[in-house]
Amino acid sequence: MTLQFVRRIQDAEHIFTYYFEPERTLRYIAGQFLEFHIPHDNPDDRGEKRWFTVSSSPTETHLAITTKIDPKKPSTFKHALHNLNPGDTIEGSEAMGDFVLPKDESTKLIFIAGGIGVTPFRSMITWLAQSNKSRDITLLYMTQDEKQVAFRHELDQIFVSLHIMSDGKRRTAQELADTIGSIENAHIYISGPEPMAKALATDFRSMSAHAYQVVTDYFPGYESI
């Protein structure tokens, strides 16, 4: 599927959102991801394709992805992404993935984001708000520092219980549970760097959370929040 680049905006320090117009209506569920293909000269060993969780909501006009750009040495893919001009086209796959909201609207939800892992939660929360729906949601958002809190204005305006931890420290599941108060009967969604997501998922399951209660979406290539 062809995607036409529309614009980019800066959401936080080194974090940008890129907007695209699909050639046809793209049907996706908040929280899903796509593969993007940007051909460019002399690609590095990470290649010309990359998976991105969609940060936009299905209720919004344009498809959007949000990512962190290394200011010193971005990958050739991200360099090409960042240098797209309005009207340029790239290729995208169909949407896929099961990191989506549970159908039972009464389920208590705990969202845990590490750095750029906030993107699927932004998609879900925006979809709920624009669809006039509400859920019992607590969002725990860990970043390297205050300057790297993406979507800050939006998150301050919505109905979730928001906890921002911007000291760059990675918390244990017990520390996060202490912040929340209780994880009983909640579904825990964890999104962020692969080491963080896997470690927290293991820890929460050891704290008596059932396997079906813990859902992960991790980002290969990121080691820190």
Given a cut of 90, whether residue 119 has pLDDT beyond it is yes
Dump strand ranges (E) for 27-151: 33-37, 49-53, 63-68, 89-92, 108-114, 137-142
Q: Give how many domains the chain has, as a whole number.
A: 2
- Going from the C-alpha of 127 to that of each of 14, 51, 144, 197, the distances in angstroms are 25, 21, 27, 24
Would you state the pLDDT for residue 73? 86
Last residue of a domain, one of 31, 57, 92: 92
pLDDT at 21 over 70: yes
Are 122 and 28 members of one domain? Answer: no
Range picked from 155-164, 178-187, 195-204 for highest mean pLDDT: 195-204
Within a domain: residue 51? yes
Alpha carbons 222 and 6: distance in angstroms, whole number: 27
**Using an 8 Å Cβ cutoff, are 103 and 73 in contact?**
no
Residue range of the domain that includes 43? 2-92
pLDDT, tens digit, 9 for 90 and up, residues 55-92: 999 999 999 999 999 888 889 999 999 999 999 999 99
Mean pLDDT, the chain, rounded, equals 91
Q: Is 103 inside any structural domain?
A: no
Q: Are residues 65 and 147 in the same domain?
A: no
Mean pLDDT, residues 13-38: 96
pLDDT of 169: 84
pTM metric for this prediction? 0.93
Whether 117 and 200 share a structural domain: yes
Q: Flag whether pLDDT at 224 surpasses 80.
A: no
Which amino acid type is present at position 22? Answer: P
- Report the DSSP beta bridge partners of residue 16: 10, 67
In a domain, 97, yes or no: no
Q: pLDDT digits over 150-174, tens only? A: 998 888 778 778 999 988 888 899 9
Contact predicate 77/47, CB 8 Å: yes
